Amino acid sequence: MNKWDYKVVGKFNDIFYKDLLQKKHMGDGEKFIKTVNTPDNEESIEEELNTFFYPLVRGHQKFLLDSECINDLPVFVTKSDRVGYKGEGYNLIRGYETARFKPEKKFEFRQMIEDFASMNHEKNEDFLLWKIICFTSLIDRINVRISSAPGFGKDSIMDLINDLVGSIGIVQKPTIAKLEYLSLNKVLMVNELMNLSTQEYRDIEQYLLSVGAFKNSYTKRSRAGSQGKEDYDISKLSLVLSYNDVDCYPDPEAYFDKVQTKQIKERFLPFRFNGAITEVFPDIPDPEKEANNNKDYFVSVARTIKYFEENWRKELKPYSELNLGLTGRWKRNFDTISRFINLYARNEAEYKELCLTLYKKHMDYLEMVYESKNLNRFTLDDKGEMGFQKIDMEEEAIVEEVNVKEWKDSGDKTW
């Protein structure tokens, strides 16, 4: 289990990416730079640039990378010049080589998911579904909301994936400026979108609406970004909103669903997960040694991730997608996740069961927030036939149970 200790995977990142610039090295956003100064003996030569750059910081070194090249990260710098800009020293990148993992199927999708972060957890099925959602967000595009009690492991999976392959931005209590420049990642995970001022909510609202609507581009709004280009390409961006269960906050009326607009809530499919990581991580006296011992394994996982990024559709099994009554963008997000459950499942029966469990996690969220006394929940009988139950939450009793085929034939769609 030592290999999934955060210190070990973090040390792998330090070793493997040691000489590379990554998206995690990006600074506070894009800058338009007219001129820089280059030292020449005892003089300073002014050089006109008149273009956009992203500052990157690695250790104690600062770099300037042309904005047009930002999606080439990670890169190995082959040529740079020392320049001055607004009284600070930078390495102006003149040449670089891209660094990419070779896409290669070292593991089946199921094996990769089961082995990845194989930690002891109070609710293994919840943790499994969360891992599938995380990989779905990286490989495809989804917009979801996740709630749980503290300790579930919401950040853990994203952090570990990011240390292996990058392309995940994680932000706590965001500002619009942070959201905008972190949108250059493949996945953006926003923690604790609570306790923001009214003005902060307004600033962030249009961003959430644009990304949640699966738009291909987003127009900057932040003052901090006003010097940069006007539009971001968000055509592949997944946005994951993460926070604790409603009873973890002193004021339930300030919870996400109470303060956000209907339009925003309808764009982000919500789930509630239970349990906590119970893994006891022993002290590792030499994380670097452990990282080197597992280097080949971590590289194999990274190559497999890259393989599925390019080839996941070819791996789909001929299972029928379930119609669980979701509509609009909630349905689009659920269907996308269900395709990766398809990749994971051994057979169609397991696929259906996991999809229904995921649907239950969605219903659990709605029950938590709205305290509904009469919600419908889909079921699967011993023969694999789907039905749904009307549940009286107060009495904890099933008040009606219907076979889906019979319900569809009846023409009654009032559930």
Query: DSSP string covering 156-170, please?
Result: HHHHHHHHHH--EEE
Q: Which two tokens stand for residue 321?
A: 């997608």
Whole-number Å distance between alpha carbons of 350 and 316: 14
**Non-local CB neighbours of 163 within 8 Å, separated by 6+ positions:** 9, 10, 12, 13
CATH number, domain 120-278+316-394? 3.40.50.300
Residue found by looking up tokens 């008149």 in the block: 50
The dihedral formed by the CA atoms of 365, 370, 376 and 378, expressed in degrees to the nearest 10: 0
Report CA-CA distances (Å) from 226 to 29, 220, 221. Answer: 10, 7, 8
pTM: 0.86
- Check if the beta carbon of residue 231 is closer than 8 Å to that of residue 108: no
- Domain ranges within the chain, ordered by starting residue: 14-98, 120-278+316-394
Q: Which two tokens stand for residue 250?
A: 């002193």
Tens-binned pLDDT, residue by residue, of the chain (415 aa): 579 999 999 999 999 999 999 988 988 788 899 999 988 777 889 999 999 999 999 999 999 999 999 989 999 999 999 999 999 999 999 999 999 899 999 999 999 999 999 999 999 999 999 999 999 999 999 999 999 999 999 999 999 999 999 999 999 888 898 899 899 999 999 998 877 777 777 889 989 999 999 999 998 875 444 454 578 899 999 999 999 999 999 988 889 988 889 999 999 999 999 999 999 988 999 999 999 999 999 999 999 999 999 999 999 999 999 989 899 999 999 999 999 999 999 999 999 999 999 999 999 999 999 874 445 555 555 555 555 555 443 443 333 444 444 434 444 333 2
